[in-house]
Amino acid sequence: MRLKKITGRTFAIDYPSAVGVYVLEDKSCILIDSGASEVYGRRTLKILEARGWHVVAIVNTHAHGDHSGGNKHIQDTAGCRIYASPMEAAYLNNPVLAAYSLYHSVSMQALKSKFYTVPLGTINNSMDNDCLELQGEKFKVWNIPGHSLGHIGIETPDKVLFAGDSLIEERIIFRHSFPHLEDVESQFRSLELLKESEMIYLSHGGLVENNDRIIASNHELITNNLALVEKVVKEVCSREEIIRKLADNHVFAVKENNYFRLMTTTAAYLAFLHNNGRVGLAVQDGRLVFYPNN
């Protein structure tokens, strides 16, 4: 858990979910994401205080708990403002929506984890343009949805893009070949946009050494997963049956704590396939089923 200088006045704290830091001339600083929990919020403040820096703002790339879990503690302690895109601000201001969007009702006890419900910090500003000005410094806002519906990246004045979870680092792809995704069409567009970036820093994986290679790897991963889902749908089946068949083929392991996330990602692939005329859907024997659209 150490502070690393990337370039200029841009730093990162190397947590499992990294926190970006941009230091202003007056020793105030802006954070990009806040870590997974209050514990990481406390550690972050301790690291910054040792340097004589104080937090004036947090910008969240998206609302998932491993990126926003430190929001409340840092805001309560430092009195900072918090910024997010309009879509992600809705989730951050109403944390119950994370579980609700997966289960579509009052959440089950099993869903009440830090990933789905985070401490309620106050989002002071939602951002709907491509530039954020803080303390006289301009930060480019990249609209890169896909992993989540309102996912953004923040580029510091040093041209370092904190890209959140918009890209999956190659070692993670090797271990987890079916990562969380909410909008496949948007993710493809985001991958194209990310080709324009100079330096990319990932929340899980750090500074990217070869932008083109990792973007190509992510594109290939999504394309392969679309083919896997489409292959399963060569037989009429429900979304639950698709998940079971993918698990049987060792695409992923199904557990209680990841089932609904797998449901979401599978639904995203099915939506793309259906919207592009590759699979059909119907209600059959009281269940929604998908079938090949040949």
In this structure, of 42-51, 87-96, 235-244, the range with the lowest mean pLDDT score is 87-96
Residue 279: helix, strand or coil by DSSP? Answer: strand
Going by DSSP bridges, is the β-strand pair 19-23/137-143 parallel, antiparallel, or unpaired?
unpaired
pLDDT for the residue 20: 99
Numbered ranges of CATH 3.60.15.10 in the chain: 3-166
Per-residue confidence (pLDDT) for residue 294, from 0 to 100: 77
Query: To which CATH superfamily is domain 3-166 assigned?
Result: Ribonuclease Z/Hydroxyacylglutathione hydrolase-like (3.60.15.10)
Rounded CA separation 156/103 (Å): 36
* Cross-strand bridge partners of residue 143: 152
Task: Record the tokens describing residue 85, joined without a space.
Answer: 């895109």
CA distance 66 to 50: 24
Q: Which residues contact 139 (CB under 8 A, 6 or more apart)?
A: 22, 30, 59, 131, 132, 133, 154, 155, 156, 157
Q: Enumerate the CATH 1.10.10 domain ranges in the chain, comma separated.
A: 232-292
pLDDT of residue 119: 61
Q: Which structure tokens are listed for 192?
A: 């194209």
Q: Over the stretch 179-193, which tens digit does the pLDDT of each residue have? A: 999 999 999 999 999
Q: Is residue 100 over pLDDT 60?
A: yes
Kindly state the percentage of the chain with pLDDT values over 90: 81
Q: How far, CA to CA in Å, does 105 sit from each of 9, 111, 115, 183, 288?
A: 45, 11, 17, 21, 19
pLDDT at site 46: 98
- At residue 174, the pLDDT reads 87
**Span 26-68, pLDDT tens digits:** 999 999 999 999 999 999 999 999 999 999 999 999 999 999 9
pLDDT at 102: 80
End-to-end CA distance of the chain: 52
Residue 271, pLDDT above cutoff 70: yes
**Residue among 91, 85, 24 nearest 55 (CA):** 24
d(CA 220, CA 156): 29
pLDDT-derived band at 210 (thresholds 50, 70, 90) equals very high
Q: Could you tell me which of 109, 17, 30, 112 has the C-alpha nearest to residue 68? A: 17
Q: What's the mean pLDDT when you consider all of the chain? A: 93
Give the model confidence (pLDDT) of 112-153 as tens digits: 665 555 666 788 788 878 999 998 999 999 999 999 999 999
- For domain 232-292, give the CATH number: 1.10.10
Token pair of 292 as six digits:
């090949």
